[in-house]
Structure 1
C-alpha cells in the first residue's frame, strides 16, 4: 500500500473523514512568535471551530476571553464576542508572505498564522489526498532507533499554507511526527506527538515549531510555536 494510503488509514480513514463537515477544539497556543510581539497570552485556553471541507476557522476567547478571531483565505477579522467586527484584513496571504521576519506584530497576523497552522494540523494527512496536491515519497529518515517514512507535498496556490512545499515524516504506525518547510526565511520543523482519537479521527495533541540547522538537526530553543489540544469534537 502507498505511504499516503497507510497514513490516512492510521488517522481514521478517508471514509470517516468524508463523513465529517466540522470540528471544535479546546486548545492553547504560545511560543516566542507570540511572546516577542507582546502577545504571550493571546491564545491561551481558547475554542477553535472550523470546517473540514473549506479553509475556515474561528477562535473564540482570544485576548483574555474578550474577543474572537476568524480566518478565511480572503479575510481575517477580529470581533467582539457578540460578532461586532473591530478589525479586518482582506486578502491576507500575499501580504503575510512579505513580512519576512519571525515576528507577528498584531492580532490580525496572529489569527492568520494560527488559522493556517491549526487548520492544517487538523486536516493533514487527509488534505494530502486533495487532487491538486502533488505528493512524492522520499527516502526514509532515521530518527533514533526508528525509521520514519517521508512524503514531499506541493500545495496549489488556492490553498493557503505556511509554505507551498512541505516534507512530512510518519512513524512506523503511520502517524505524523514532523513537518519541515521554510518560514520567515528560516527552515523550521513542526514536531507532533501525543496522538489521541476523537470520534475516530487521530490527532496529535501536542505540536511544536522549532528552527532547523543546515544538516537537518532541530534546534531545541527557541520554540517558535507551541500547541496543546485539550479536546476535539468532529461532526
Structure 2
C-alpha cells in the first residue's frame, strides 16, 4: 500500500470503520449527454441505489417500472420485478458492447450494466482500492491551477471487476479527499472523461462527494466544461 493510499483511506473514514459495513444505499438523480447519445435520456426522478462494499454487486430501483429493479454483477445483469421474476437478463454483459462507439444506442440492459458498475465504483471509492487484485501506484501530480496541485493514485483494475477502463486515475487535495476521477468509457467507444466531484458530506463516519460531473476530457488533460457527459447528485446516503 502506498503512503498516499493510506492517507486517503484514513481521510475518507478509515479501513477499520469501512470494514464494519457490507452495504451502501443512496438516492441518486442522474443525467447528461451520454444518455442522450445512447437514446435513453435520463428523467429527473430520484432512484434508490444499493451497492455491496466488499464485492461487486449493485441494484437500482425503480428501473423501467415502479415494481422493477436492476441487478448487476460483472458476469450478469438483469431487470427483475419485486417478486423476483426476471424481466430480462444478460450473461457476460461486457461482450454485448463489442464494437460500440459513442453514438451506438443502448438497450435497458446496457443502461443497467453501466449504472451498476459506475455507481459501485463511485460509492466504494477509495476503499475498493484495497480489494484483492487491485494494483495501486502514486503517479505524477496534477496542476489543477497555478495555486492548486493534486496528488494522484493510478489504479489498475483486475479482469473480474467491471469498470470504466482497466486503468483509472484518482486525484486528491491537500486534505487527502477526492477531487477528480479520470477514466476512459470503454463500453462507449473509449472516450476520455474527467469527473470532478464536489460537496463532500459524511454519513456513518465515511466521507463522500454528493455531486459528480463527468466532462469530456481534452488531449491536454483538461475538461471540456461544455460537454457534461454524466451528472450525478447523491443524497440520503447510509452505510450499514
Q: TM-score, normalised by structure 2?
A: 0.91
On the 8 A contact 1:46/1:59 being kept in 2, the answer is yes
Comparing 80-89 and 146-155, the one that deviates more: 80-89
Gaps of 5+ in 2: none
Q: Deviations over 1:167-194 (max 9, x none)?
A: 1111111111111122223211111111
The secondary structure found in structure 1 opposite 2:64 is helix
Q: TM-score, normalised by structure 1?
A: 0.93
* Count of matched residue pairs: 235
On the 8 A contact 2:171/2:180 being kept in 1, the answer is yes
User: Where does residue 208 of structure 2 map in the other structure?
Assistant: 203
Structure 2 CA distance for aligned equivalents of residues 102 and 208 of structure 1: 20
Gaps of 5+ in 1: none
Q: 1:182 to 1:13 in 2, by over 3 A?
A: same
The question of 1:187 aligning with 2:192 is answered yes
Structure 2 CA distance for aligned equivalents of residues 208 and 66 of structure 1: 29
User: Structure 2 matches for 1:47-126, cutoff 5 A?
Assistant: 47-63=48-64, 65-96=66-97, 98-126=99-127
On the 8 A contact 1:34/1:103 being kept in 2, the answer is no
User: Where does residue 179 of structure 2 map in the other structure?
Assistant: 177
On the 8 A contact 2:30/2:233 being kept in 1, the answer is yes
User: Where does residue 233 of structure 2 map in the other structure?
Assistant: 228
How big is the alpha-carbon RMSD for the aligned residues of Structure 1 and Structure 2?
1.8
Q: 1:142 to 1:164 in 2, by over 3 A?
A: same
User: Where does residue 156 of structure 1 map in the other structure?
Assistant: 158
Structure 2 CA distance for aligned equivalents of residues 103 and 135 of structure 1: 32
Comparing 142-151 and 38-47, the one that deviates more: 38-47
Comparing 44-53 and 102-111, the one that deviates more: 102-111
Which ranges of 4 or more aligned residues in structure 1 deviate by more than 6 Å? none
User: Where does residue 213 of structure 1 map in the other structure?
Assistant: 218
The secondary structure found in structure 2 opposite 1:63 is coil
Structure 1 CA distance for aligned equivalents of residues 98 and 7 of structure 2: 33
Q: 1:12 to 1:39 in 2, by over 3 A?
A: same
TM-aligned CA deviation for residue 40 of structure 1? 2.2
